[in-house]
Amino acid sequence: MNIKAKVIDEIGLQRTITRLAHEIIERNRGSENIVLVGMRTRGEFIARRIHAKIKDIDNSNPSLGVLDVTLYRDDFRTRLKQPEVSVTDISFDINEKDIVLIDDVLYTGRTVRAALDALMDLGRPSTIQFCVLVDRGHREMPIIADFVGKNIPTSINEEVKVKLKETDNEDAVYLVEILNNSEK
């Protein structure tokens, strides 16, 4: 693995989170009916940060949940590793709510597809909007994000690594080159 560039640094990440929080509130004309759902693992922490910002800006406290999409994945028959399942924690009613689904990187779109299925099993939200820190392109599904922190054009041999203090001891986004497939 070869680091090619640091695309976002700590301050940049803070600014991006702040902007995303503002955009979410603006698009929804306030934060009254929105609920935030972070996708495990790093989407959860980005969701927590956006949640804290929205609290600050709008003086409100939208519900915050965590979604684990492992059980809805489409690669059980083809992949080589068994993914570890963890718990979905959405303890509030999502019916008639405007869900903002939050993840770190948007790539093929397959995880979002799984997340949409997972959310549908929990209720019937009014809308589902998708917020992502980095969009790196190469979609395999007809999916587009509503809120994008940064568009980073990549090649297939590159990968976007989001590092967060909660899991990796630093706040940064790196563009790295994959040297061989086994590292994926």
Q: By the criterion CB under 8 A, which residues form the site for another protein?
A: 68, 70-72, 76-77, 79-82, 84-89, 117-118, 121-123
Return d(Cα 98, Cα 32) in angstroms, integer. 9
Which burial class, exposed, middle or buried, applies to 175 when counting CB atoms under 10 A from its CB (0-12, 13-18, 19+)? buried
Minimum CB separation of residue 127 from another protein in Å reads 19
Nearest to 18 by CA among 64, 43, 54: 54
Rounded distance between C-alpha atoms, residue 118 and residue 71, angstroms: 8
Q: Nearer to another protein by C-beta: 10 or 74?
A: 74
Report the nearest approach of another protein to the CB of residue 16 (Å). 31
Nearest to 37 by CA among 24, 18, 19: 24
CB of 87 to another protein, least distance (A): 5
Q: Which is nearer to another protein, 60 or 86 (CB)?
A: 86
CB of 139 to another protein, least distance (A): 22
Distances (CA, A) of 86 to 57, 68, 80, 113, 138: 32, 6, 19, 18, 27
Given the complex with another protein, which of 89 and 146 has the nearer CB atom?
89
- Taking the least distance from each CB to another protein, the nearer of 81 and 184 is 81
Residue whose CB is less far from another protein, 2 or 82:
82
Smallest separation (angstroms) from another protein to the CB of 51:
21
